[in-house]
Homo-oligomer: A and B are copies of this chain.
C-alpha cells in the first residue's frame, strides 16, 4: 500500500506533541455545544470566511477539528459550499474525513474530484472504507479510479467488489494478524515487533493451522498479561464466532451484538481465514439497521436528509400512492353506508375517531412486533404467546378508550350512539392488536422485511374495520337504515 498514508492521525499527533490540545476539549468548548454538536456560531464563522474567500481564516477554523467533526462541518454547510471548503483545506481532507462523510455528501464531493484525487484518498483508507468510497461511484468513474490505484490496493478492492453489497466480504478488512499454532506468547510479541503494522487496528490475533483455517483467537490483553513461555494454543479461545464471507451485514451485526465481539474472523466457503471485521465498523451498521425501522415503518425510504430531493420524492410518493389505495378502499366502505350518513350526520362526524384510534393502536403493536422480529426476540417459538399477549393488551386499551369516548358521545349525542362507538372501538382496537403482530410475522415468514410492508396493510385493516364496525353497528342497532 502507499507510503503516504496519513490514516493514523493518532501517531502523527504523538509525534509533534500537540501540547495545546486539552484532552477534554471536545465537549462544550468554543466550537461544540454540550451535546458535542458543532455550534451554529462556529458553522456561520466558516460560512462567512468561505464567502469572503479568506482561505487563511477557513484553514485556521477547521485545522483543530477531529476528522469526524470536519465531516460533520461539511454536511452542515450548504451543498454549494462543500467543494469550496474541501479545496480550501485539501490537506486536511484525509481518508478519515471522507470515510466519516454521509454517503450522499461523499458521492457529491467525489464527483467534483478527479479520478486521481479519489485514488489518493482511497489509498489512505482501510480496504473496507476504500470499497465504500468506490462502490458508490458510477461504473465509468469506478474504472477510472481503479486504474489509478496501486496494484495491491486495486486487487484488494476488486476482490471485495466481487462480493454482493452489504455482505461481510465487502465490509471486512484484509489487514489482520494471523499466526501459526506452534508460537508462544514470546514468539508472537517478537514477530509483532518485527512485522507488526501499527497503522492498522487489531484487537485479537488469529491462530491458524497449515490450511489457513482459524483454530483459535487470542485477545491482546491476554497476550500482554501472560508470560512469554506460554504457548498460544494453551492461551487461545477455541470457541470462536466465525463470520462467513457471504453473511449479510445485518446478521453479522447481530452476531457482534449477541456475543459481545470486538472483532471476528471472516472465512471463505472452505473455512479459510480471509479477513476480519471490527466492532467500529459494526457500530455504524447496528445504528443504521436499528434506526431504519422508524423510517421504513413510515415509508420514508432511506430517510436521509442528504438524499437528493428527486430520490426522496420517488421513495416517498410510492408509499403515499399505496396508502391512497388503502384510503380509497376505506372510503368505499363509507360509501356503502351513504344513506345512513345522510340520515344521521353524526355518523360522519364520529367515524374518523374510530378509524384513527384503531390505526394508532395497530401502529403501536406493529412497532413492538417489528422491533422484536429485528432483534430475534419474536420467533416461531413464541409467536402464539405474543399474539395472545397483544390481544390482551388490546382488550384493556379498547375497554378504556371505549368507556371514555362512549360516555362523551352518550352525553353529547345519544346514549345509543355512545354504545355503538364504544363497541366499535373495542372491536377495532382488538383487530388492530392481532393485525399488528400477525401482519409483520407473515411478512417475515414470506422473507420480506416486515418493517417495509406491514404498515400499509395494518392501516388498511384498521381504517376499513373502523368504518365498517362503527357504521355497521349503527345500522344494526337501528340508528339509521342501510
Contacts and interface: CB of A to CB of B under 8 A. Distances in A.
Nearest to A205: B224
A182 interface: no
A321 interface: yes
Given A196-B225, A312-B393, 19 more contacts: A14-B238, A23-B238, A35-B254, A66-B239, A68-B260, A72-B258, A76-B381, A193-B226, A197-B225, A286-B287, A287-B375, A298-B364, A299-B364, A300-B363, A309-B393, A317-B397, A320-B400, A341-B341, A352-B355
25 contacts: A21-B239, A72-B258, A102-B377, A193-B225, A260-B283, A286-B287, A287-B290, A288-B290, A295-B367, A298-B360, A298-B366, A305-B378, A305-B386, A309-B396, A312-B393, A313-B397, A317-B397, A320-B401, A321-B400, A330-B356, A341-B341, A342-B342, A345-B348, A351-B352, A352-B467
Copies in the complex: 2
Contacts of A2: none
Interface residues of A, number: 159
B295 A290 contact: no
Interface stretch (A55-63, A133-141, A149-157, A331-339): A331-339
A360 B72 contact: no
Would you list the 6 A-B pairs with minimal beta carbon distance, nearest first?
Answer: A196-B225, A290-B290, A294-B294, A348-B348, A220-B220, A290-B291
A407 B284 CA distance: 45
Contact of A357 (B21, B36, B197, B324): B324
A309 to B, nearest CB: 6
A128 interface: no
Interface stretch (A83-91, A112-120, A159-167, A240-248): A240-248
A38 interface: yes
B345 A341 contact: yes
Contacts of A258: 36, 68, 72, 100
Interface string A257-300: 11111100001000100000001101110111011011101111
Contact of A221 (B76, B196, B349, B371): B196
A234 B367 contact: no
A353 B377 contact: no
A216 to B, nearest CB: 8
A300 B224 contact: no
Chain A interface mostly? helix
Contacts of A210: none
Contacts of A196: 221, 224-225
B257 A374 contact: no
A379 interface: yes
A442 interface: no
